Amino acid sequence: MELKKDGTAVSIDMLLIVHSGKRRAAQGAHLEPQADPGALLQRGGGFQGVGDAIRKWQQLEGSDLHGTQLTVEVHPRDAMPQLLKKFSLAKRTYVQGLQGDKNGNTRPRQPGGKDAHAYPWDRSSLKSMPLDLRQFEKLDSYASQVTVKSGLDELVSDLLQEAHSDLERVRAIWIWICHHIEYDVEAAQEKDRQAFKPTDILRAQKANCDGYAGLFERMCRIAGVQCVTVPGYSKGFGYQTGQSFSGEFDHAWNAVYLEGSWHLLDSTWGSGLVDTTTSKFTFLYNEFYFLTHPALFIEDHFPDNKNWQLLKPPQSLRQFENNMYHKSEFYNKGMLSARPETAMIRTVNGKATITIESCAPTLFMFMLNGKQEHGLLSLRKNGMKLEVFPPTMGTHKLQIFAKGDSDIYSSVLEYTLKCNYVDLGVRLPAELHQPVGPSWFSEQMGILKPSHPDPVIHTSDGRCSISFGVAEGISVLASLHGDDGPITEETQQRYIFQMHREKRTELKVQLPHAGKFALKIFVKKRQEQGNFVFVFNYLLCCANTKVNWPVFPESFGNWGQDNELLEPLSGVLPANRNVPFKLKLHGIAKALVKGQDTWPLTLNHEGYWEGSCNTAGCQEVYVMVLENANHNFYSYILKYKVNAQ
């Protein structure tokens, strides 16, 4: 506040708001942070009456003047009064946008019926008005690069050079703030939070939420657009699932008047995010909070005045606390709904089931207590299904992430699981990764028309055969993983024998014992360098305790994809026995089996190479082929071990 020494040419605007039985005195827009308005008035000389008026309002404890506002004006005797409505959030001040009427009064129109949107969300749009974001591309690029030269007026003037409507003016201001003002984490954590003046914000390019909102409102006023700052509760930084809200409000945002109705936005949350582990702010533009549909905005913003929900019907604070919180990325990445709709889930027979519906095919992952374990996540064409089996009784934290169009998984949902029963028979392999079962994603990666579309395969004898088509130029790799028994890193692929016939790949699987196993499927383009990429896995289940299958024979690089092994399938041969061999091999001139001696294989009329060998006196047996009849160099294609005598 500026006071002339003679005390004549000043304009001071004070406001007292009584909200929820609590008195809040607003500071003037130019008062020093944390200063007492009455004290400053008294220092100016001749203003004790205003201080007395403020103190009288402060004595109205428990009055029924809920939401009543008092505007006190001090101005030169020869000046025309100018009304500036102000309201406060704790110790911070906001100046509302002005709207002139035919009688010369300047006050913003309060939201009414035509501003209200239906609740719950009708899935029509993420925005509260029809928008084609492509129309802002040129304006966004321009506004994000405008620099501060002198003061706020010149900055707004520069921003409006490319803006030709109120919507474009609001957009230009929004883009500039979101790309230039950093969230002041330290200031936000102070117990006695100070007010942020626009001039200080421009200089430091830092603010907390009320600073963002106040600056946005001030710039809109300069641009001639109606804007108000709305205080309230939020599910933002530090929010815990199921948290209740009371006391002073913790956040502030804005409403702007465009095309005949009010719309909501939050430039604080549009500018970036705070890392919960480091408490560091990172600029990361978030389009979601620009003119957000009110039925979505209410998920994490609860205003002090229910009219500013812009909803029909409005939600209660209890509903706000209990409603499921879908993070902005939930909608940014095309999610439509999630079940259950409550943040807390009680398991049934040790299991919790979550489903998500999305606009388009989307990749998901989950974490239970920070680990990607104890769940079956299967992808659907428009969403996903997740079954979670908490390993212990008690409370568990479940986080769900989605990938969308970007290469980054973002957290979209959080649930609290209450588990009062653990089914010990459902223990899943630690190596069971996500997703489980074939889906649109495996098809996209070149695995087509699988023989087993379901993610879980039950086998009574410990064996199964899985087949699928493979796109041209794609190589497939599979590995078996279990928590117990003989499976090691060296033998993960030895319990699977891969063959290719009639344009389909077949995986023959033999389990070493009863239990649950993860069968992982990887692919790679043959023409490209690099590693195989994980696509999905099956969960194999066998309850037969008599199962004890050995590994398959070890195959080498010359074992062609189109080769077929009929016998022997066991990679461990009995000692001192004649063992028959039958294989289909393509593009070779000769084939033989080598142990202690060498036994040739002959090609029969069905196209199979047949013969036998005796395992006496040897520890290993090899199948070898000669690819060119003009050469005498044989290649190893299969290796068997022989049991000790």
Q: Hey, what long-range contacts does 119-124 have (CB within 8 A, 24 or more apart)?
A: 119/294, 119/295, 119/298, 119/311, 119/312, 119/313, 119/314, 119/315, 120/295, 121/293, 121/295, 121/296, 122/295, 123/336, 124/293
Q: Is 158 exposed, middle or buried (0-12, 13-18, 19+ CB in 10 A)?
A: middle
d(CA 146, CA 200): 18
227 catalytic? Reply is no
Q: Of the residues 115, 184, 209, 396, which is catalytic? A: 209
d(CA 13, CA 11): 7
Neighbours of 397 (CB within 10 A): 13
SS3 152: helix
Q: Is residue 359 annotated as a catalytic residue, yes or no?
A: no
Report CA Rg, the chain: 35
Please indicate whether residue 458 is annotated as part of the active site: no
Across the strands, what pairs with 546?
none
Instruction: Kindly state the DSSP code that residue 546 receives in the 8-state scheme.
Output: T
DSSP state of 288: G
Give the closest residue to 257 by CA, choosing from 123, 491, 99, 139: 99
Residue 224 pairs in a beta bridge with: none
Pick the catalytic residue from 266, 326, 374, 396: 266
CB atoms within 10 A of CB 526: 9
**Interatomic CA distance for residues 93 and 610, integer angstroms:** 91
Spatial distance between the Cα atoms of 303 and 316, rounded to a whole number of angstroms: 10
Buried/exposed code over 491-515 (b: 16+ C-beta within 10 A; e: otherwise): bbbbbbbbbbeeeebbbbbbbbbbb
Measured distance between the N- and C-terminal CA atoms of the chain, rounded to whole angstroms:
101
How many Å apart are CA 136 and CA 141, to the nearest integer?
Answer: 8
Residue of 19, 251, 263, 326 marked active site: 251
Tell me which DSSP letter residue 300 carries: T
Residues identified as active-site: 209, 251, 266
